[in-house]
Every structure is written in structure tokens, then in C-alpha cells.
Chains A and B, each alone.
Chain A
Amino acid sequence: MSSSFKELPVISAGPMTHRPSSQDPIIGIDLGTTNSLVAIVKNNTPIVLPSREGRNLIPSIVHYGADNNIEVGFSAKKRRSTDPKNTIYSAKRLLGRGAADMLDSGIEFPYDLDLSSPQNVQIVIGEKKITAIEVSAEILREIKLAAETALGRPVEDAVITVPAYFNDSQRQATRAAGRLAGLNVLRILNEPTAASLAYGLHEKKNGLVAVYDLGGGTFDVSILKLRDGLFEVLSTAGDTQLGGDDIDIAIARHLGLEADSGKALIIAENLKIALTTQKSATFEGYALSREQLETIVVPILEKTRTAVEQSLIDAKIDRTELTDVVLVGGPTRMPVVQQFAAQLFGRQPNCNLNPDEVVALGAAVQADILAGNNRDFLLLDVVPLSLGIETMGGTMNKLIPRNTRIPAMAKEQFTTYAEGQTKVAINVYQGERDLVTFNRKLGQFVLAGIPPLPAGLARVEVTFLVDADGILSVSAKELYSEVEQSIEVRPSYGLTDEQVEQMLAAYLDNKDEDLSVAKLVEARNDARTVLTATEKALPKVADLLDKNERINIETLTANLRGVIEKEDLTAIKNAHKALSDGTRHLAELLIQATLDKNFKNKNVDGFLKKG
């Protein structure tokens, strides 16, 4: 080697990239097909936050009752057998999908779908029609409330995970659902990548890791290289219409039940869960053995084989080079899935992590990275599907091939094919097939104002830019005339941005602001601060106060204690104010005492801060 690399500049003092701790925390959300979870990093350790129902997970189920009464979670799950038409589960399988996608997938739901609009699947609830985005927003709203309740402070910023194999419209739809729930989505993160972050933090090992993520409705496989805090995704592959749901449906069919009835799926799910620990199980008169379950499940698992092989080819590694296999998703608890994965990768999978929680924990780790708290970790992810434009003859011209590292940029020049052509249509597609008709159209725009030139002379330069969320924007420029046009490709994912903003505004208008849990939580915390401070201070200055004043303060303290756990924001605020007013003299005495150095080194923070 004759010459060497140029030296990099020494970065002396970087800019301030630490999020101030006074700012509200960033949460990590696993918005799952079956269950959703929320987590946060505390003292460098990610933890799952409890739901308002006191559980770690929230079933991704929304029940639309009479009088606009909406329930989310376990309470909604109970309605599945009694009110299946209004109990929406697995909405994630509809997110960002068109009617054609649904007809192709062949999945059935006990609730009614309106497939009349090709771009946009709608769910029919009585007289109303809603999109999967709105259903997902209800789940995210519940998650936001759970986090606010658990943390005792308002939450707005979030990282939300999606299956790695989600296309652009499914990602955009997830973003829109977050927005609709009043969240500021800082990052759309791939689920297997999130899992690898939690794995890396837990196992502290370098190497080549395969993440086999079989969720409720989607399957992903990712190959990653882990090295000293760097998480490089080498490849990803998957199937967005394959998961635990399919196993339940197959079990129901095996039992001779109508697969689209809510009841049948409950029976199937219970038998499946019982068989993870038992050799045979019976539920409501239906019996199933583990052997029978295996013959039902293996054909479904076989569908993951192609994706796994593709991911290894794309990563340019042999399966023997893998140092670990991580299983993610509830269905991987089933012994048959673990055996299948072991055989597929030629090694025993790692079962040290909780497959239900690992994605949420990883999302929290990424949130911590974005907050600037974790400078040791960095994630380098890829695009799951190729991105390109349509050229003559309907062929797909790929600008960014699948598994390209993001952020990614690509430029390519095209020309006109007709004499004097002054406009070109730029059709943007996502997918692997050579003909665009088999791929998914993300958007279209027209570059006009090209000077009339002989065919083949105009030079149109198309630029693709994919950001760290895996979302694409496209611009085009005619190089002679410098006519330029750029769009953020907005695939039709079900709602327009304007619709999302309108719905959010309507929601915020309708909800009684004082009932907002966030405000309640905040008021409670403020009240607690004053209570603690008062109780600490009172004995110290007791002899300086007259008896009436002392009794008054004790009464006010008791009043505040009495209302603090109630759902009445005004009562808490009033009692808080009364106590603050009643302790003004006490505070003055304390300050005076501090000045007199009689109270040197004693904690009076609560009073000084509140004034």
C-alpha cells in the first residue's frame, strides 16, 4: 500500500447535545399487533412502565361502545366475545394498507371492513367508518396516559417501533397515528433493530447476531454486526402479513370453528398458550395436543425460511458465522417456534430476554440515545425495500436498493423520449420486482417547464433522500434550464396530513382539558412537593408560630391530603393554593431563619422554589 488515509480533524468541543434533564422524558413505544408496551431508560437501564390497568402490557384492542365510550386494553379485550363487531384488534395489519393489499392477504376479521376505496381500508363501526390510524391513535393515547401516570409528568416525545419490513406508507401511517395521539414522534424505529439494542445492552457482546422477530401479525429477520456500541444492520427481510394471528386462525380451522368469529380465536389463543408449558390442553371442550399444534404451525413457520435465507445472502454471511440468534415476539415462546428457529439457523437461540418486552426496552434505549444521554451507542440501519422510479416500458429503475444504509442519498439522470417533450412524470415506487405494476406506488409528481429539446437531449436529474426514519423525499431538476421540483413523497396511507391535523384539533377541542391526566398528574406532584416541604418545615419553626396559625396550616395540609388522590383537578389546585397562601408566613419565617443561619444545611428547597 503506497499511501495512507488522510487524518480526520480533531473534534475538540462538540456542540451541546445533551437534553436538559428538566425537559420531559422521551418514551419508547412498541406498538404491537397484539400487545403494546411503553418503556423508558432510568439510570442507564431500560424499564417497562406499568399500564393504567396495572399490567406491563396493553392489549392492542379498542372497543367502541355506545355514547362514544372508548375502551382500550384488557377491558376492551373482554368485549371480544360479546361485542366482536365493535371490538377492533390487530388494527396494525390494516395500517397504511389499501383494499387490494387486504384482498391479497386473505385475512379475515370478525369486524366489518369497507374495501370500496382502493387506497384506504376503513373499519365499519355502526354508522361510522374509521381508519386503522384512528384505532392505533387510541392505543397510543392510552400508552401516553400510562406513561404520564407512571412518571408523574407530561410526555410528548416518543420513539415508536414498526416492523422492519414496513413500507413507506405503513411508516407514514404509524407516524400519523402518533401525531393524532398528541405525540411528537422523534423516530420510527425498526423492531428487530430495537431488540438488538436491548440485547446489546443486556449481553454486552460483540458479534454477528440474527434477530428472528415473529410478532402477532408480522415477521422480520435482521442480521446485525455489533461492535463496541455500534449496531450495524447488515440486512433485513420479512413478511408484513405473517404472524401469531395466522397460527390462531389455523388452530381455529383445525378445530372446525369459523375462523373469523371472536370466540373461535379466543379458544385458539388459550390452547396455544397452554401448550407452551403442557403436552396437551383442553379449553371449553376443545382439545389439542402439542403434536397436533406442531403439524398446524410448521407450515406457517416454513414461510419464514425464504426471508431468513435472503437476509443471510444480503448480509453476505454464512449462517455458521452467526454468534447469536435472538428470538423476539410472543409466538416465539412456543417450543415449536424455538425448535424451528434452532434448525433454521443451525444453533440454539438465545432465550435470556423476555420476547414480549425486548422491543419496547430497545425503543427506550434509542430514545435515550436521541436524548444525548447515551454517547456510547449508535444505530446504523438500512432500508428494507428498494426505492426507484418508473422508466419506459413500466420498468422499475432502482435508485436505492434494499439494505442500503440510511440516511441515504442517490442521484440519477434520465432523459426525455419524445421530440419537444416539456414535461416528465416521475412515478416513485417501492419494491423488488422488475416491473412497477408489481411494486407499490408511493407517489407521483410532474416536472414541467422543460425547454422543448430533441428527444434524449434534456437531462433530468432525480435525487432520492431517505432520512433516519427510512422515509423518502424526492426532488427532480432539469439540468439545462435548472427547472427544479421537489416533493416529500407522501404515499396515500389512509389520511392526508391535513386530515390528521384536523382530527387532532377536533380531539383537543372536545376533550375537557381539566380532565387531562397529564394536568392532574402535574397538579398532584406540585401538591406533594408543598406537602412534603410543609411537613418537614413545621416542626423546625413550630415555636415561632402562634397556635391558631399552626392549627390552620395543619387543617390545610389535611385538606390537600384529602383531595390529592381524587380525579378533581380544581379541588387539588384550590387546596394547594389555600395551603400555599396559609404557609406564606411560615415560608417567610423559614427564609428569615435561614438568613439567621439558624437553619444552616437544612433542606428548605420546597419553599424557596415555590415562593
Chain B
Amino acid sequence: MHCWNCKTDLSHQSSLGFFACPKCSAPDFIGTDRSPFAVLGAPRQYDLDLSELEERYLALSKWLHPDRYATLGNTWTKKCGELSALVNESYESLKNSESRLDALLVGSSDLAKTNSDAIPTRYAERFFEMQELRMEDAAAARALALSLQSEIKQEDNALLEQIDRIARSLNWNKPLEKQSLLTLMETRAKRAYLRSLIANLQKVLL
């Protein structure tokens, strides 16, 4: 592998991740692992120190943003634009816990098929009840929608806590145990469903 700018041989470069060419200081990224954890040099875990993550993001941005290289011409701004885009994308994915879990699960999701029985049907029944009621008694339907929504929100929060608990306890540097993976995937599927219900109720309420 050679430096894209000065063509110096970089095969002795030992550390993975972002580095500066020892000869011309041109930045680049080494390694096939382009997961957001590798890009930001963050430990592969669910529980991240967010202020440390932000510090890292800003340090990399200050170094790699194409505006820093505007005087050096298009090749530099294009290359640094791509590196910067990689940093932005990685930070976006690790910044909130939900997409961070997605990033941790990349590659493992095929191991567990989501069980559709896990989806709670009782809310759907009440949702349709409420829809029918709208024709007869709008005020009553509204009241029902409100109480249903707050009930679903409560369950959703409980599920979120459950996900947090499991995800924190796992060692993400080892292959995952099938049972905890299955629980995680199911809980996530439930949450996705509950949130689509919350959104639908919101539309009704507006």
C-alpha cells in the first residue's frame, strides 16, 4: 500500500485506522474493518462514553475536514471529503443507542429469525376498535386513543430498558450467544411495531 499523495511505501504502517503519511502528512485510513467503532477508534461495546465519543468526532473532523485542505486543490479536498464523510457517518451511527445497537448487530442478524408471535396483538384489536368508534363518537375515540397511546408508550419504555440491560451485559468482542441475540432481536421487533402504532395514533390525535 502506498500514500495516495506522495506514493511513499506504507506497508510498514502497523496500526490500523486513521494515520498521517510520515513523509507528506496526507491523511488516510488503513484496514478492512470500516465499522463505525474501527473508524472512530471506539471500544466495541454498547455502553459508550458519549462525551468521549464527541471529543473524538470533533478531533477527527478538525483534522480531516476538506476545508482544512482547500488551498491544496481538488485531489486533496475530494480525498479528505471522503474520509470526513466516513467519520460523519460513523459518528451518526454511534451517537444514539439504537443505531449503535444496529452497528453491533451487523453480521449477526442472520443468526436469529424473528419470531412473529412475539408481536403483541392486543393493541391492534383496540386500535381498530378505536377507529370504528371515531364514526360514532369522536370524543370517546379520542379519549381511547390517548389512553392507548400512553399505555403503549409505557410498554415501549419497559422494552427499551430491557434492551439496554441485555446489550450492556454482553461482550461484543466475542461471537454472540444465540439466546441473548434472539431476545434482543425480538425485543427490537416489538419496539418497532409499538412505535408504528404510536405514530398512527398520533396522526389520529392531530
Binding site for B on A (CB under 8 A): 1-9, 11-19, 186-187, 227, 230, 369-372, 378-380, 404-410, 465-468
Contacts and interface: CB of A to CB of B under 8 A. Distances in A.
B43 A3 contact: yes
Contacts of B69: 15, 17
Contact of B70 (A1, A2, A16, A370): A370
Given A405-B88, A406-B88, A409-B89, A9 B20 contact: yes
Contacts of B70: 17, 186-187, 369-372
A187 B72 CA distance: 14
Interface in B53-107: 53, 56, 58-63, 65-72, 77, 81-82, 84-86, 88-89, 91-92
Given A5-B42, A18-B71, A409-B85, A468 B77 contact: yes
Top 8 nearest A-B pairs by Cβ distance? Answer: A6-B41, A409-B85, A3-B43, A370-B70, A407-B85, A407-B81, A405-B88, A19-B71
B26 interface: yes
A5 B56 contact: yes
B19 interface: yes
Contacts of A227: 58
A3 B37 CA distance: 12
Nearest to B77: A468
Given A11-B63, A404-B88, A465 B43 contact: no
A3 B42 CA distance: 9
Contact of A378 (B48, B68, B88): B68
A9 B18 contact: yes
Interface of B: 15, 17-20, 24-26, 40-43, 45, 47-49, 52-53, 56, 58-63, 65-72, 77, 81-82, 84-86, 88-89, 91-92
A354 B25 CA distance: 41
B43 to A, nearest CB: 4
Nearest to A375: B68
Binding site secondary structure of chain B: helix
B82 A370 contact: no
Contact of B67 (A13, A379, A465): A379
A407 B67 contact: no
B43 A372 contact: no
Contacts of B19: 9
Given A9-B20, A18-B71, A378-B62, A408 B56 contact: no
Contacts of B24: 15
A410 B86 CA distance: 9
Nearest to A230: B58
Nearest to A372: B71
A219 to B, nearest CB: 24
B90 to A, nearest CB: 11
A288 to B, nearest CB: 38
B163 to A, nearest CB: 19
B59 A407 contact: no
A67 B53 CA distance: 63
Contacts of A12: 20, 25
Contacts of A14: 20, 25
A467 B85 CA distance: 9
Nearest to A229: B62
A363 to B, nearest CB: 14
7 contacts: A1-B43, A11-B20, A11-B63, A187-B70, A378-B62, A378-B67, A379-B67
Nearest to A26: B70
Contact of A5 (B41, B68, B84): B41
Nearest to A369: B67
A406 B48 CA distance: 24
A18 B168 CA distance: 46
Contacts of B52: 4-5
Most chain B C-beta atoms within 10 Å of own C-beta, residue among A7, A9, A19, A465: A9
Given A11-B20, A13-B25, A378-B67, A1 B47 contact: yes
B68 A17 contact: yes
Nearest to B89: A409
Nearest to B62: A378
Contacts of A370: 67, 70-71
Nearest to B43: A3
B17 A6 contact: yes
Contacts of A2: 43, 45
